[in-house]
Chain A
Amino acid sequence: MSRQAIGLIVVLLLFVGLLVVRAGIGKGMGRVYSERESVAMVQVEIPILDVVEGEAKGTVGTESVWVPAASDDAVDFASADSPRVEWETTTPIKPGTYFQDPSNAAFELDWPRTIGIWVAALFTLAIFSFLYKDNAIYKIAESVVVGVSAGYAMVIGFWDMLVPNLLGKLVPMFVQTHFIPGMTDTSVNWLYIIPAVFGILLLMRLAPKGQWLSLWALAFIVGTTAAIRMVGYIEGDFLSQINATVMPIYQVVEGANGSVDVYSTIWASIRQFILLIGVLACLTYFFFSVEHKGVVGGVARVGIWFLMITFGAAFGFTVMGRIALLAARFEFLFDDWLWLIDPTNQRTIPDAVAVLGM
């Protein structure tokens, strides 16, 4: 066994040892507690009141609705034969709530979510292991990302797009009966046969023969994208940005008493002037039909300075965004998993918080 492998094993053992020690201190670590709740619904026939001028004059039939089994409607209208459906839900609670009243039968250790916390923590560490070097643990995590994200996109595409927008238009009664009972429009729209056909043509790319048919679907996607993007960018970006730039340089700022705030007016006007100069200078730099020499060259150079400031700001923002994400991952590891920090009083017993005024 190489020295490097021995070193890795030692680090891993040390890590596991530290975890075991941490798990044995205080209230332990990495657990999620939930409150179990039973949901019971019962189908009842509720009379429809005949209301005339705000006054009930009798009933005009009944309507069949599902109501909670403990509701007044259920007590009044449900019988022993009424259809009834029950299931259980679990809602995560703060560990502190559980520690306060561990004998509460509704509170319990939530095994799926607890396992989830551990899986998420190990995945996080697996990805971080790439900072040392490319290794098998990282590659496993990377493969999971590929597999899960592909499956996730397909599932979301199916339930959120294909079922309501394609099947819901072509076979609405089937969709209403099984998947979306609340769907109101149940008329068939045969126009939606077009995306169905193009979608199937797109899948021809996987077929051994007739792959060229997928070009028709691709042509549809390209045509739609080009048209929508062209109009959208001209309207939403090109015109709106020009509209926002072509403003009076003299910007009047009024104070609280309605009079002109001279100091703020000067600064707002300078700001608008710099903005206008900046946009024009940058556009001059992007205009390559004229050689960047003389006055044009000078203005283009000012444009480059503005662009450098923009790129610097973008860089700073990106770095801060990534650091915020990194901080969030560390917070997850140290707070949710290891229980070493508790910035949101998750594990503090509520009474103690109240007494200490925290």
Chain B
Amino acid sequence: MLKRNVPLLITGLIGVFLIVANFFPSLSAMSEDFTVFFGIIAAMAFVLGGGSLLKVHLKKISDRNAGWAYSLIVLGTFAITLAVGLLKIGVPPNPGFPDKPWSGSVNADGTAFEWIYEYALKPLSATMFAMLAFYIASAAFRAFRAKNIEAILLLGTAFIILLGRTFAGYYLTGWIPIDGPFSGLRIEELSVYIMQVFNTAGSRAIIIGIALGIASTSLKILMGLDRSYLGGGN
């Protein structure tokens, strides 16, 4: 009862209330409160994530599993970031309230927390994403084969879009007069046309499909037909 029915009841009631609130302006303020509640619980979920991180890595270290030293680095950097941020180390007070030492923004320029973001998190995550350029190129080289009309369309479009955003593309079709009747054949123009027409058409259909999928899945959850989030396999 408490483990299965109460969660189903909470999901259903909250969901129905938030949907109904859209039709009653007097409930909209309460609906906004619930959206904030969601944000608060999501922020508390970060604490759960941190606790889980500690649990996993402390076990790895205590068991001396392979790569335990990396777990030490994970926990060390986690603890430093947390301490620097929560204690607002090096954060000057808000100029409007200089007698309140905790009033400054943790993200302010020149703070230790901003240093961690600017010189550790940002370069590391940006470089990780940048590296995907090599792997996408490599995967494309291996996998792309113009075997049929669909593959030719995909390959050709990707090629035009890539060229359309480089100087090579401009030079390649730069001889076509920009104000003439065939200006649409210039690579950069073609690239824009593909994005505005063909890509928009495909994206719209995909977005409509996603919206319908989300609406039906949400309804299934709210009506208690989909209980997978409760675990137990049904």
Max chain B Cβ within 10 angstroms of own Cβ: one of A219, A245, A318: A219
A119 lies within 8 A of B44 (CB):
no
Write the A92-111 contact mask toward B (1 if CB under 8 angstroms, else 0): 00000000000000000000
Tell whether A227 pairs with B18 under 8 Å between CB atoms, given A241-B208, A279-B201.
Answer: yes
A199 lies within 8 A of B2 (CB):
no
Which listed residue (A120, A241, A304) contacts B120, Cβ 8 A?
A120
Q: Is A29 interfacial (CB 8 A cutoff)?
A: no
In the complex, which residues of chain A have a beta carbon less than 8 angstroms from the beta carbon of B153?
A: 305, 308-309, 312
Interface size on A, residues (CB 8 A): 130
Tell me the minimal C-beta distance from B219 to chain A in angstroms.
7
At the interface with chain B, which of A50-58, A142-150, A254-262, A341-349?
A142-150
Write the A107-136 contact mask toward B (1 if CB under 8 angstroms, else 0): 000001101110111011001101100000
List which B119-133 residues lie within 8 A (CB) of chain A.
119-133
Tell me the minimal C-beta distance from B50 to chain A in angstroms.
5
User: Interface residue tally of chain B, by bracket?
Assistant: 35 or more
B3 lies within 8 A of A308 (CB):
no
Tell whether A329 pairs with B123 under 8 Å between CB atoms, given A218-B7, A227-B222.
Answer: yes
A303 lies within 8 A of B205 (CB):
yes
Q: List 13 A-B contacts (CB under 8 A).
A: A140-B70, A151-B81, A157-B47, A231-B18, A233-B215, A267-B184, A305-B153, A308-B157, A315-B161, A316-B165, A319-B140, A325-B129, A328-B130
Q: A147-B81, A222-B229, A312-B157 are in contact. List 8 more A-B contacts (CB 8 A).
A: A66-B96, A145-B124, A158-B43, A216-B7, A219-B8, A226-B15, A319-B136, A320-B162
Give the A-binding residues of B (Cβ under 8 A).
2-3, 6-8, 10-19, 22, 33-53, 55, 67, 70-71, 73-82, 85-86, 92-100, 102-103, 106, 109-110, 113, 115-134, 136-137, 140, 149-151, 153-162, 165, 184, 193-212, 214-215, 217-219, 221-222, 229-231
Give the B-binding residues of A (Cβ under 8 A).
39, 41, 43, 66, 83, 85, 87, 89-91, 112-113, 115-117, 119-121, 123-124, 127-128, 130-131, 139-159, 161-162, 165-166, 177-182, 191-192, 194-196, 198-200, 202-203, 205-206, 212, 215-231, 233-234, 237-238, 241-242, 244-245, 267, 271, 274-275, 277-279, 281-283, 285-286, 303-320, 322-323, 325-326, 328-329, 332
